[in-house]
Structure 1
Amino acid sequence: MAKKRSFLLRAVEEKLLIRFSRPFEWGSVKGYVLDVGPKFILMAVFGDGFTLDGFLCCRIADIRNLKCASDSIASMYQTVLNKRGQEIPSRPTIDLANVESILQTANQAFPLVAIHREKTKPGVCHIGCVTEISEGRFWMREIDTDASWGEDELFRYKLSDVTLVEFDGDYERGLHEAGGSPPLK
């Protein structure tokens, strides 16, 4: 774990394009590590193509096959970003101390957060607004895939089940643009 942490810290310092896999999903994650916390990293990620597509916080323990992109691949990605007028985003104000602080600060900085509980619910993602955090649990008002907010229902989850938090991706932004903010109740 110390070797992995050292690699990730170097990636932050040198703004390295990295790639890794996780046991819960096919393929790999590509992007730039913006910060390293005690158990989670904050990363600006590429979507399926050459466009940066939001941020994720994932557990360091889940990172597998961690590698730097080759110089030629990193150069190609940087060229595409430059031609598209994009750059590596600044680090958003996300507190990586623990899952609770990640959810609190992401929820304050962005209109929607996506949470994954891949060990307990593989392939399921919950998107919405965190309304309360207390005693190892949190509550969310969720937005559906058709951008409609549920009635008055809040969903409760364990903080310890969270394996990945995503925010400010194209999908989350699109849901917010179509569905707006949650109704005040």
Structure 2
Amino acid sequence: MATHQAVEGLRRALESGKPVRIIRDIDGADRLDAYVVGLGRKWVLLHTISAGFHLDGHSVVRLRDVEHATRSNWKAARVAHRALRLREERPRTPPGIDLDTTTGLIDTLTRAFPLVSVYTEKIDPDVCYIGRAHGVTKQKNLRLQEISPRAVWGYDCCKYRTTDITRFDVGDGYIDALHAVGGNPPDL
């Protein structure tokens, strides 16, 4: 469960427009350097910063998993912010993303982006699944038509329990490259 301090750190980052380092209480999960661009009841929307100080897609993480969201944990925060400003890269909030419910989040991400990366980091922090979401079943399973790292589409859907999902990524360079090479998925 996110601490009050973590939620306040996220709120301050959203209001200030300054980048923060997000640390989550999931063993082996990536730290995320980002701008907070949306905060809901269940999820927080981040515009992520690459190691080369460029904006690179959005991540959405479960609010309850956030342990820390501060600039003090990231010594390069000021440099990143200045570099992005000098390059005229500004954090953006994709319109209409539902951060209050998981099903709403999946629906709105699917409408806004052609592909989504799905992480189940509490099960395996080193794996993500990329593809086109085809909704959530009555049993609360995400149906995902996956694309392989070679940009080859599957012809059926894999299912992931929504309660196991800890993070979504959209619109980053890798995901966009897979979509450019693989195109849209074949009809199911």
Mark yes or no: TM-score above 0.5.
yes
Is the 2:18–2:81 contact (alpha carbons within 8 Å) kept by the matching residues of 1? no
Paired residue for 1:39, among 30, 37, 42? 42
**What stretches of structure 2 of length at least 5 have no aligned partner?**
none
Deviation at 1:69, TM superposition (A): 4.8
Tell me the SS of whatever aligns to 1:160. helix
Paired residue for 2:146, among 139, 142, 145? 142
Is the 1:17–1:69 contact (alpha carbons within 8 Å) kept by the matching residues of 2? no
Is the 1:99–1:162 contact (alpha carbons within 8 Å) kept by the matching residues of 2? no
Is the 2:14–2:37 contact (alpha carbons within 8 Å) kept by the matching residues of 1? yes
Read off the aligned partner of 2:162 and give its amino acid letter.
Answer: L
CA RMSD, 1 decimal? 2.1
Mean Cα displacement is larger for which, 107-116 or 91-100? 91-100
Read off the aligned partner of 1:140 and give its amino acid letter.
Answer: L
Take 1:72 and 1:20, find their aligned partners in 2: how far apart are those partners?
A: 13
Q: Report the CA distance shift for 1:2/1:82 in structure 2 as closer, same or farther (over 3 A).
A: closer
Deviations 1:17-37 (A, max 9, x none): 111223243662111101111
**What stretches of structure 1 of length at least 5 have no aligned partner?**
none
Query: Residues 85-124 of structure 1 correspond to what in structure 2 (within 5 A)?
Result: 85-124=88-127
Mean Cα displacement is larger for which, 33-42 or 76-85? 76-85
Question: Percent identity over the alignment?
Answer: 29
Paired residue for 1:68, among 66, 71, 80? 71
Take 1:131 and 1:176, find their aligned partners in 2: how far apart are those partners?
A: 16
Tell me the SS of whatever aligns to 1:176. helix
Q: Report the CA distance shift for 1:128/1:79 in structure 2 as closer, same or farther (over 3 A).
A: same
Deviations 1:116-166 (A, max 9, x none): 11122332101001113122112110000001101x221011111101111
Take 2:137 and 2:34, find their aligned partners in 1: how far apart are those partners?
A: 32
- How many residues align? The count is 184
Deviations 1:81-122 (A, max 9, x none): 133231122344210112211111111100100001112233
Corresponding residue for residue 50 of structure 1: 53
Note if 1:21 corresponds to 2:23: yes
**TM-score normalised per structure 2:** 0.88
